[in-house]
Structure 1
Amino acid sequence: MTRHAPLDKNSHRDLRVRTDVGADLGDAVMATLTVPNEFRNIQGHFPILFRREAGQSDFIAVALFGFENGENLFLEGDRWDARYRPLSLAIQPFLVGRPASGDGPGQVHIDLGHARIGGDGEGVRLFDENGMATPYLEAAAERLGALDEGYRASAAFFAALRDYDLLEPFTLDIELDDGSKNSLVGFHIIDEAKLRALDAAALGRLHGEGHLMPIFMALASLSQISELAARKNRRMRDG
């Protein structure tokens, strides 16, 4: 059960956070949120797909880890098997809190009900003996700020994709070495044909607004789907 609270050096002076990885810590997920300013780091490891949240009209971008709910092919027991860890996982159990209006500067909040909250001396301290933020907390706050900035800027990115109709539905059927099939449905990808058909003015606008690079990164990331299938085959073969 989530219990969000503003992070406070007095109330949370002795709080610790576990920084290891594991299914019991929330890492057993098929996909996680990513944002356009992170696509360059994501594309070398994970496919970037787009989807609508249930009951929502707006798209979000996700980094794909597996083909089934709860499957993370980059989670090897207590080891993260990739050189990059997406921000939305790396910042847990922290989040940004804002006034109900949504305006104003963000504040670091913490989910006191998260599995990463350490107990009995487990984990890394957030504040030192003098109540100052530890290097771990400073790094976490920096990552949280980068994710929040990217999320708030992503509305303009998705608006541009809508303006030029650059998202197309994506269905993937993968046959594995044992003959079984995995299907991905409900996702979208960049429509490369429509991107290629854009005129110079449209491309100039996308470039000028900073959207062209993340579009290219999202397209490049699709080459990781074959590597994801290879990971699935290895896991099924090795048990």
Structure 2
Amino acid sequence: MASLVAVDNKKHLNTKIDLNKVEHHGANLPLIPVVLAEFIHLAVQYPIVLTKNGDTGQFVFSAMLGFEENENLFWQQAQWQGLYVPLQIRRQPFFVETSDEKHHNELAICLNTDSPAVSEEIGQALFDEKGDESSYFKTVKANLTQLLLGEKENKVLIATLTSMALIKPMSLDITFMNQGATKLAGLYTIDEVKLAALNNEQILSLHQSGLLSAIHTMMISLGQIHTLIDLKNKSLS
């Protein structure tokens, strides 16, 4: 379990983050949670799917990175090879303390001190010698803010998709070049047939709420499964 401590400009005055090790947090992740604001960037390389939270059963938007447990096909030669690195990776090793609802306008940032990216010798400083926030730390806070806002947008879209019965399980059998086969399970996507059957009023509502473009982006992104298959085949050759 991560050891989280609140970031403090006195306690962490000399703390640095080795950016070369930040992306290691995603090295073994076949799925990574994503938010709507990222969809347009993700869709050019990653399939965007829906999964279910194992604890709550709630739907979660995820970028698909691999086919097997602990497999990230975009992690090659100890580096992330994707054109776009998801926010959930880039914000590492920082988290937001959300227990104090009274101060929701002020982010209580915590640092995972167990992360291999945390250092006092190499990397990006959190504060300058006066204790003022560095431009790097300001970027981290902006990423965390975007994730928090994104979670709210995600909930709206998921509630809308659920109410319109537009979510369906994905069914896909894949055979790789070594004749190994896999069947995708536990993944969900947009039901294109039901989407096409919506009436004009429902389509207009989706468009006016800004959700229709996200739905289409998600559908288009599924073509990137072929990218994943190609990466998998290359890893087997």
The Cα offsets for residues 30-57 of structure 1, whole Å up to 9 and x where unpaired, read as 1111011211111111000101111313
> 3-state DSSP class of the match of 2:186?
strand
Q: Which amino acid aligns with 2:124?
A: V
Q: Please report the TM-score for the alignment, with normalisation by the length of structure 1.
A: 0.92
Tell me by how many angstroms 1:107 deviates.
Answer: 2.2
Matches of residues 163-182 of structure 1 in structure 2 within 5 Å? 163-182=163-182
Matches of residues 20-169 of structure 1 in structure 2 within 5 Å? 20-21=20-21, 25-101=25-101, 104-105=104-105, 106-118=107-119, 121-169=121-169
The gaps in structure 1 that reach 5 residues or longer are none
> 3-state DSSP class of the match of 1:29?
coil
Q: Is the 8 A contact 2:23 2:79 kept in 1?
A: no
Q: CA RMSD in A?
A: 1.8
The Cα offsets for residues 149-200 of structure 1, whole Å up to 9 and x where unpaired, read as 1012211111100111110011322100111112220110011111111111
The gaps in structure 2 that reach 5 residues or longer are none
Q: Is the 8 A contact 2:36 2:154 kept in 1?
A: yes
- Pick closer, same or farther for the CA change 1:48–1:103 going to 2, 3 Å: farther
Q: Which amino acid aligns with 2:226?
A: S
For 2:21 and 2:77, the matched residues in 1 are separated by 8
For 2:135 and 2:23, the matched residues in 1 are separated by 26
Tell me by how many angstroms 1:13 deviates.
Answer: 0.8
- Pick closer, same or farther for the CA change 1:102–1:165 going to 2, 3 Å: farther
Q: Please report the TM-score for the alignment, with normalisation by the length of structure 2.
A: 0.93
1:212 corresponds to 2:216: no
For 2:213 and 2:162, the matched residues in 1 are separated by 17
Q: Is the 8 A contact 1:66 1:228 kept in 2?
A: yes
Tell me by how many angstroms 1:127 deviates.
Answer: 1.1
> 3-state DSSP class of the match of 1:50?
strand
For 2:149 and 2:35, the matched residues in 1 are separated by 9
The Cα offsets for residues 199-227 of structure 1, whole Å up to 9 and x where unpaired, read as 11001111111211111110010000011
Identity between Structure 1 and Structure 2 (%): 27
Q: Is the 8 A contact 2:22 2:89 kept in 1?
A: no
For 2:39 and 2:58, the matched residues in 1 are separated by 19
Tell me by how many angstroms 1:25 deviates.
Answer: 4.2
For 2:21 and 2:67, the matched residues in 1 are separated by 20
Q: Is the 8 A contact 1:46 1:64 kept in 2?
A: yes
Aligned length: 236
For 1:153 and 1:22, the matched residues in 2 are separated by 26
Q: Is the 8 A contact 1:33 1:61 kept in 2?
A: yes
1:9 corresponds to 2:9: yes
For 2:102 and 2:236, the matched residues in 1 are separated by 45
| Counterpart position of 2:198 | 198
Moved more, 212-221 or 12-21: 12-21
- Pick closer, same or farther for the CA change 1:156–1:193 going to 2, 3 Å: same
> 3-state DSSP class of the match of 1:171?
coil
The Cα offsets for residues 14-36 of structure 1, whole Å up to 9 and x where unpaired, read as 11112115885442211111011
For 2:23 and 2:99, the matched residues in 1 are separated by 33
